[in-house]
Amino acid sequence: MNLDSKSLLWTFGICLILTLTAPVIYPSARLLFFSPFIIVVIYQKTLTVSLGYAFLCGLLIDLLSPSPRLGMHALDFSLATGMLYSQQRNFFADSLSTLPLMTFFFSVLSSAISPVLLVTIGTQNIFSLDWVFTDVFFMSAIDAVYAFVLFIVPFMLFGKQRRSGKDYFLEKEKK
C-alpha cells in the first residue's frame, strides 16, 4: 500500500460517507473521519494544497455540526496539517503502519489544538486529566484503528501481493 498512489477521490468518498452516516448510527462517536484523507493528501500534495484540503474538510464538519463556532474545525485541521506536514519525511509512504501512525498524530494534534482555540475565544475550558486520557489518547488510538481497518486491511486482503526478495529471481529448472 502506497500513500502516494492512493486515490484521493475514493478516500474522500469513504470519509465523507462515514462523516454523514456514523453520527446517525452512533451519535456519541467523536472520531475525526477525515483524518486519513488529510494524511493521504499530505503525502500527495504540496503544503498549500494540503492546507486547503484540510480547511475544506474542517469547514464541511463545521457546516454539518450544530455548534455555532463556524470555522473552528477548519482552523483546527489547518493548524494540525501545517504542524504535521514536515513529518512526512520521517515515515515512508509505502509502509503499512504510516497511515495509522500519522492519523494518530493528526488526531492528537487536533485534539490538543481544539481546546486551546476554545479557551482563546473564551468559550469553555475542557482541560482535565480525563480529557487527556479520553480525547487525546484513547480517541486518537481509535482514529488510528479506524484508518487501519478501513484503508489498510482491505488492501492487505484484496490488493496486490507484495513480493519477497526471492520472488524477483527465476529459479532454474533442474533436469
How would DSSP label each residue in the chain? --TTTS-HHHHHHHHHHHHHHHHHH-TT----TTHHHHHHHHHHS-HHHHHHHHHHHHHHHHHHS--S-TTHHHHHHHHHHHHHGGGGGGS-TT-TTHHHHHHHHHHHHHHHHHHHHHHHTTS-----HHHIIIIIIIHHHHHHHHHIIIIIHHHHHHSPPPPPGGGGSPPPPP-
Q: How confident is the model at residue 155 (pLDDT cuts 50, 70, 90)?
A: confident
- Render pLDDT for 57-105 as a digit per residue (tens, 0 to 9): 999 999 988 776 788 899 999 999 999 999 988 888 778 888 999 999 9
- Cβ distance 144 to 110 under 8 Å? no
pLDDT in tens, 14-38: 999 998 888 888 877 778 899 999 9
pLDDT score, position 65? 83
